[in-house]
Structure 1
């Protein structure tokens, strides 16, 4: 079952990192300090890989705006 926006916003940190699973290998880790990290688990050439996608959730009003990355 896909993660909903409400479930992500309401995810509370615990004593240990909490994993909230989406579909097809995508999941969100909520750290004890409250950080949220997206990860994607996949297979390539028969080996399991783990990709870090983002460390924050983008606010609706920030979508489409340029980011100051430099």
Structure 2
């Protein structure tokens, strides 16, 4: 199920970090202190990796989806998005 801005805005913290999936690897990670981070899971060279986009307060849902598309285009080109971000 794809997320909506209302669901993201109303996401409440719990005792443990919670992942709320948007699909295609993108999810919102809600920490117990209430902070919200956009992250995307992907595989590169057979290894599972997590690409942290940025906090929810800085990037909207639409922008996070755009970042996911950019990350997937890097993967299609054979480039590890995490390494690219570090450079």
More displaced stretch, 2-11 vs 48-57:
48-57
TM-score by length of 1: 0.76
Which residue number in structure 1 is paired with residue 80 of structure 2?
none
Q: Which runs of 4+ in 1 moved over 2 A?
A: 56-60
Structure 1 segment 5-20 matched on structure 2, within 5 A? 5-20=5-20
Larger radius of gyration: 1
How many residue pairs were aligned? 61
Report which of the two has the higher share of helix.
2
Structure 2: 5+ residue runs without aligned partners?
61-87
TM-score by length of 2: 0.62
Structure 1: 5+ residue runs without aligned partners?
61-70
Give the CA deviation at 1:45. Answer: 2.0
- Aligned CA RMSD, in angstroms, stands at 2.0
